[in-house]
Amino acid sequence: MHRTARTASAAIALTMAAGITACGSSGGEGVAADKKQTLTVWAMGVEGEKLADVAKVYEEANPHITVKVTPIGWDVAHQKLVSAAAAGTLPDITQMGSSFMGEFVELGVLEPVDTKTFKKDDFFPAAWEQGVADGETYGVPWYVETRVLYYRTDLAKKAGITKAPTTWPELQQAASDFQDKAGTKWGISLQPAGLDAVHSWYPFLYSAGGSIVADGKAAMDSPETVRALNEYGTYFDKGLAKKSFQPGYEVLTDFNSGDVPMFYSGPWTMTGINNDYPDLKGKWAIAKVPADKTSSSMAGGSSLVISKDSEHKEAATEFLSYLTDTKGQEDWFKRSGDLPANTSAWDSGELANDANFKIFREQMETAQSWPVLSQWTEISSKADDAISQVTQGKASAEDAAKKAQSEIEGLVE
């Protein structure tokens, strides 16, 4: 998942919202889709750079449409979106992750999705939920990601591990065997503290059936969530995972050296291993996250939204349909490597036949997304703090969860 930088607070955003109400307009009936017009699109990071090529192909087939794509760096994306929302100058279409979605829904600047055109059942459930707030859908899923277990197969052989761990007890036993029998420095890499440590914890949380917020209420002190926090902490108590945290840590260096034989990560890591560590070919594999009640990982990715003030909603809807139908999703995967959100794009070609992509598809089918809430960044930071308290031995899972529960209640209720 892309890390986000927030340079304007929610309070500032809400203040700006008053300005939006005053200066914004609905754009009337808007321009018909078959009329000559220009669509403006903001997309972030690498996606912003690659989408322009797709736009050229679309323009050739639709000569009355010009698609102007503006790449936006993730480090400045939030600030630019908030400023544009306040000024009433958002583009017709914007790429948006779930961590932004709640805030901009609250600001009232997004057009609800036409659910007759975009069908919920065409997409992974967690991908669709990333665009839903208060029962209304605002984002069309574009691409997805989830986390799976990466492990060294050559070191597993040395450790006497004959198959990938499938349960929590098997995962912890494997971590111990890697250390004791294969001589690895650590049994597994898990983020112990710092910003977004929660992402490393999600596979434990969701597999235990826990949540940070459920049905609009804080759920950090639920038995399932406490169980996940406690299990996570045992890896640090037993010396199976490194307690200290270095921002910017790249696990592949230690994976390559053999210091770290297991870690959780997303699909992009397969490319990283193949490109940067070719000597690891044939020495690693991936598996679904080991289960507690279930095997359930986190869902990330991005959706595409249409601005409420856009005067080109019809044409924007047609362009989004082009990007998110089966052919559009297959094409985007070939260009970017991003995993399709539309499940039909997985039914043929490399995505259907490659063993590793099959694992990612299975994991995505049970993956969960966090709630679309305007305060989510603040809420998840409280979970980060609880994780740090537990992994550093400063609080029990029960006490850390109780503290986070109180803090999160103040944000959601």
Say how many domains are in the chain: 2
Residues 376 and 241 in one domain: yes
Residues 207 and 286 in one domain: yes
Residues in the chain, overall count: 413
Residues 293 and 303 in one domain: no
213: domain CATH number?
A: 3.40.190.10
- pLDDT, residue 408, reads 98
Per-10-residue mean pLDDT, the chain, length 413: 41 46 48 97 93 97 98 94 96 93 95 97 98 96 98 98 98 98 98 96 98 96 98 98 94 98 97 97 98 98 97 98 98 96 97 98 97 94 98 98 97 86
Residues 360 and 379 in one domain: no
- pLDDT, residue 24, reads 38
Bridge partner list, 146: 299
Is 31 within the bounds of a domain? no
- pLDDT, residue 123, reads 98
Residues 227 and 325 in one domain: no
Is 70 within the bounds of a domain? yes
- pLDDT, residue 3, reads 37
Residues 290 and 160 in one domain: yes
Is 22 within the bounds of a domain? no
- pLDDT, residue 353, reads 97
Residues 209 and 289 in one domain: yes
Is 153 within the bounds of a domain? yes
Is 30 within the bounds of a domain? no
Q: How far apart are CA 276 and CA 279, in angstroms?
A: 9
- pLDDT, residue 42, reads 98
- In one-letter notation, the amino acid at residue 299 is A
Report the interhelical angle of 223-237 vs 397-412 (nearest 10°).
130
Tell me the CB-side half-sphere exposure of residue 372, using CA atoms within 13 A: 27
Residues 93 and 235 in one domain: no
Q: How far apart are CA 332 and CA 338, in angstroms?
A: 7
| Residue 21, both tokens | 């109400």
Report the chain's C-alpha Rg in angstroms.
22
Is 356 within the bounds of a domain? yes
DSSP H stretches of helix in 5-114: 10-23, 45-61, 74-87, 98-106
Secondary structure in 3-state letters for 78-104: HHHHHHHHHHCCCCCEEEECHHHHHHH
Residues 42 and 82 in one domain: yes
Is 15 within the bounds of a domain? no
Domain boundary among 336, 351, 368: 368
Q: How far apart are CA 129 and CA 180, in angstroms?
A: 42
Indicate the pairing of strand 299-306 with strand 93-96.
antiparallel
Q: How far apart are CA 398 and CA 402, in angstroms?
A: 6
Q: How far apart are CA 204 and CA 280, in angstroms?
A: 27
Residues 392 and 284 in one domain: yes
Residues 155 and 139 in one domain: no
**What are the respective helix, strand and coil percentages of the chain, to the nearest 5?**
50, 15, 35
**How many whole angstroms from its chain centre is CA 148?**
13
Is 155 within the bounds of a domain? yes
Residue linked to tokens 């992402």: 199
Domain extent, residue 282, equals 148-298+371-409
Residues 137 and 160 in one domain: no
